[in-house]
Each structure stands twice: as structure tokens, then as C-alpha cells.
Chains A and B, each alone.
Chain A
Amino acid sequence: MLEIKNLHVAIDGKEILKGIDLSLPDGQVHAIMGPNGSGKSTLSYVLAGRDGYTVTQGSVTLKGKDILSLSPDQRAAQGVFLAMQYPVEIPGVTTMSFLKTALNALRKARGQNPLDALQILKLLREKAKALDLSQELLSRAVNVGFSGGEKKRNEVLQMAVLEPSLCLLDETDSGLDIDALRVVANGVNALRAPSRSMLVITHYQRLLDYIKPDVVHVLAYGKIRQSGGPELAKELEKTGYAAFAREDA
């Protein structure tokens, strides 16, 4: 699904990612853990195509195709979805009309017919129910006045509706209490599929109790320093990230 090779990324001339190699096969869930400032969010933004990040070396391919040259919307059309750590508020635009516009834009890019308002309403209601999101939220402006938990569930709702093939979850657990975490994790787990891969970025092991990864990578100081099975996450919970001292220190 996703192949990252020797990826170097700089922001304002400062190198943040210093050669990432990662291979995420179809249907697998990989976790990326690491201390604050290790470059976890940078990696998710670079994969989604945000401005301001300069790729100085390396390549990223999705299903064999280069995505670094694509705009964020072109990447979305190819199946990339980033569930953001801080979902953005969009005043004046209802969640309903936002998702209708987004879904039909993606369907168009994928050569599918657009859905009408009624079909979309039905789909959204069904998906929102599964995430324990009230329907009233759908007619409110995107993320405006949403609680932290509602924002994160709204991200998962969008993921469920837009059906990406690569899900990037950036600190989806941050700001969630244990009940909300369970709902969000259940929502994510329901989307696991042989044709869909996930990269779960988190600071804490807690989320991985609910979303079981196939592989755990430790990202520190811009590089993947260790990879292993789910047991690696447990170990990190005990030992912390101190072992991954600055390579150049």
C-alpha cells in the first residue's frame, strides 16, 4: 500500500525527518510512537500534502504511484485520509454540506456518479449512529462548538464516509476520556479491511490497547529507531523514550 523510502523533510530549512523508511502492506495497521518533537505530526502532514514542508530527499508511493507531486485533494482522490490531531473549525459550513461536497468531489475523481442529498443524508445518519454522534451535530457548522471527543469522532465519521485506502490517524487519542476513546477505537476498528491500511500515530500506548497494530515503529529525532510487534508498545510504556537518545548527541 504505502512505501516510504529515505524520506527527508525540512521546515524552513531545518531538517525534521532525517531518512524515514517504512513499508505498510495492504490491510495492515502500523503504529508510530515517539516522544514529542520527534517528527510524528510532520510525517502525517507530509503524507497528506500540507504546504510548508520541503521534501529534500526520498520517495513516497501509494499503491505503486508517487504521491509527493500531488496536491492534497489529488492525494485524497488516491485514497489518502488524515484524521487530524486538531480538527479545524469551519464556521458557516454544516458538517452535512461539507461531507456532501467532499464525498461527491471524491466520487467524481474516482469516476463514480454523485450521490443526491437524500442518499447522503441516509449514509451520514447511519455512520453517525454507529459512532454515537448525534444527528443534530450533522446540521451544525463543522467542528464549531464541538467537544474534543466530538471533534475526534467527527474525524472518524469522515473517514467512514469517504472510505479511504490509507488512513493516517494523528494523535486521535489526545484529549479523549476512556469512554470516548473506546467509541473512537471501535469506529476505527470497524473500518479495518484487507484493502485498507492504517498508520496510527500516538504518543501513548493506551490507544493501542484498543486498536491492535501489526507493527509498532519508534520514531525519534527524525528517524525510525526501532520496529517490532505490539509488545514493543508495552515495553515503551515501561521504559519511556529515554533509550532513544539523540543519535547525533
Chain B
Amino acid sequence: MTLAAFKNRASQNQEAWRYTNLDTLLSPAALDAEPFPHGPHACPFKTCLVFLNGIFEPSMSRFGSVPSCLLMGDRDSGYSLTLGEQTCLVAHPVELVFASDSKAPDEIPLKFSISLGKNARLSLLENHRASAVPVSVETSVTLAPHAKFVHGKIVSGGPHLALYTVHAAEGSFYTNTSLLRRTRPARNEFSVHLDGQGAQVSLNGIMFLNGHDHADTTAHVLHNAPHCTSRQSYKSVLDESARGVFQGRITVAPHAQKTDGYQISRALLLSDKAEMDSKPELEIYADDVSCRHGNSVGDLDPDALFYLRSRGLDEKAARDLLIQGFLADALDSLPVEAWGSSFRHELGLEPL
């Protein structure tokens, strides 16, 4: 989907975009205000597929022990990753690195189709390096019964728009953990359809923003079958004039009995000018369900700050340690251990 298509989508559903105005945020003035330097494309993982300016570059990539037929397609028709029945790539986490350089076009549209066969397993980290030009991602995910897709995402900066549409069949599992940084702006949107009985989804993320960053996480989980479980858990740390948005929506179809849904958004505001907008929505048409949501916005605990400072930590060290503590459970529960260093590095945190 191109930038124009995203804008068109936004104009047709203003309520869903009320906190993220693409016309303003992506105006030429906003884009030129502080362009990002293009990030590097080095990658620490054994299996690392590099896309430069939206085009897959085999010469920069490493397939490791993963067959190269995993990835098919091209920029214009879109790329596809397909795992056949029983195929398991969990032991070889795949990293997709998206980088751009001075030859980048005005915008980089990316289109992916990811499909996992019955019982297939995939761990995939999308690593979007800082980009000076808008990147838009349109990804559709199809999970066959009992497939498991562990999906991670890091956005290191720049304008970024993404829409993930997931269809999960019986007993399948989808989890995403996204880290959004230096986004001017970002919209990270999920539409997850739990179509088969017992399907599970877990959406998690960290928005770590400062300056005039703007990040919007919008997640819509549709319980279309009984006995499905959904979790949404987001943490935001907002400094200076940053703005975070979390819109979490759970829709439970009339026959989706025994649904178990939960969503929580917690935000830490480090400045008077930072802003967090949270909008939880529950739409429940079944009667035997458990759906809960929670939301908190606060600043650093002054008692805790004094406690740390009285032990010798200067103000910055004390704040950093409390922020690290705030994010600890999100970082400790990453589904792929090897992602920990990538996430911590991106956050500028030392390993604990």
C-alpha cells in the first residue's frame, strides 16, 4: 500500500485515525524538518534478508541454514514467505532488515504475504533501520491450523506506516512484539482475525519516544470463533513533546463463546508536554466471555527517585534505572531470547 493509499484509508475512517493526522504529520514541511540519516544494514543474525530501498538484495543477505526458496516475489508484486506443513524455523530466527540509502525513492512501499502451513513454526524479526523517506508496510499473514508465528519488529526512526492483517485458523498462535523509536510518525496497525476455535494472539510493544515523535499503535482483534484467547500489552515512555497513541479494540462475534480477551496500556510521561492517548474499545456480542482492559498514565515516582539518588545515583542514572524497571517485564518476556540484545541496543539500555 502506498502512502496515498494509507491517506485514503485514513480519510475514509476518521474515527480510527483521530489521533494520527497523516496530512499534517506527513506534510512536506514535517518531513523536511528533521530528516533522518539512513541507518546501517548490518545484521547479527545467521539468517538475515536485507531489503535496500524496498528491494531484496541477495548479495547483502545470508540465508544460513534456511532454504532460499523461503522468500519469493519482487517489489512490485510483493514478497511472499511461505512455510509448508510441519516446517519449523524456530531454531533459526529470521531477520528481515529494511534499509535505505541516498538512492531511495520518495517513498518505499513494502508488500508481504506470509503463510504458514499446518503445524509450521516461524520466528521472524523485522528490523526497520532509520529511514529518511516514508516506509509503508502492508502484510497479510495466514496461519493454518496449529501454526505458530512469533513476530518481532523494530522501527529505529523515520516515517513509518504499517498494516498487518492476520487470519488465524484453529489452534494457531500469532504473537507480535514491536518497538517503535524516533518515529515521525508511525502507525503500527493490526487487524487479527481469530477464525478457528482455540486460536491465540498476543500483541505487545514498546513505544519509546522523545522530541516531536508520534507513534500510534492500533490493534483490532476479532474473536470469530469460540475458545480463543487474545492479549494486548503495550508500554510507552514519552519524553519532551512526544505523543503516543494506543487504540485497542476487541470484537467478539455472537457465537465466539468462552472468549478470553485482555488489553492493557501503560504509559510513563517524562515531561509536561508529552501526551498519551488511549482508547480501549470492547464490542461484545456473545454472553459467555471474559474481556478486560486496563490503562494507566503516570510519571516517575518521586519517592523512588529520591530513594535511588540517596544511594548515589545522579538524576539521569536514577531516571534511566526507573525507566528500565518500567520496561523490564516487556523486555524479559520477549519470545525469542536472541532479540533481547537488539531491543536493548535500540533502547540504549545496558543488559541487566
Contact = CB atoms under 8 A, between A and B. Distances in A.
A191 interface: no
A90 B311 contact: no
Contacts of A75: 310
A93 B324 contact: yes
A84 to B, nearest CB: 7
A72 B310 contact: yes
A76 B311 contact: yes
Interface residues of B, number: 25
Interface in A74-110: 75-77, 80-82, 84, 87-94, 97-98, 101-103, 105-106, 109
Nearest to A107: B312
B327 interface: yes
Interface string A16-55: 0000000000000000000000000000000011110000
Contacts of B322: 90, 93
Contacts of A48: 306, 310
Contacts of A73: 309-315, 318
Q: Which of A81, A91, A92, A93 counts the most B-chain CB atoms under 10 A from its CB?
A: A92
Q: Which of B306, B307, B312, B321 counts the most A-chain CB atoms under 10 A from its CB?
A: B312
A87 B312 CA distance: 16
A226 interface: no
B326 interface: yes
B329 A92 contact: yes
A134 interface: no
A87 B325 contact: no
Interface size range on A against B: 20 to 34
A139 to B, nearest CB: 10
A71 interface: yes
B321 A101 contact: yes
A70 to B, nearest CB: 11
B301 interface: yes
A102 B318 CA distance: 9
A102 B309 CA distance: 9
A72 B308 CA distance: 9
Given A51-B306, A90-B322, A97-B352, A102 B328 contact: no
B304 interface: yes
Interface of A: 48-51, 71-73, 75-77, 80-82, 84, 87-94, 97-98, 101-103, 105-106, 109, 141, 158, 162
Interface of B: 301-304, 306-315, 317-318, 321-322, 324-329, 352
16 contacts: A73-B311, A73-B312, A73-B318, A76-B309, A92-B327, A93-B325, A97-B352, A98-B308, A98-B311, A101-B313, A101-B317, A102-B313, A103-B312, A105-B314, A105-B317, A141-B325
Given A105-B311, A162-B311, 9 more contacts: A71-B315, A73-B314, A76-B310, A89-B304, A90-B325, A97-B321, A98-B308, A101-B321, A105-B314
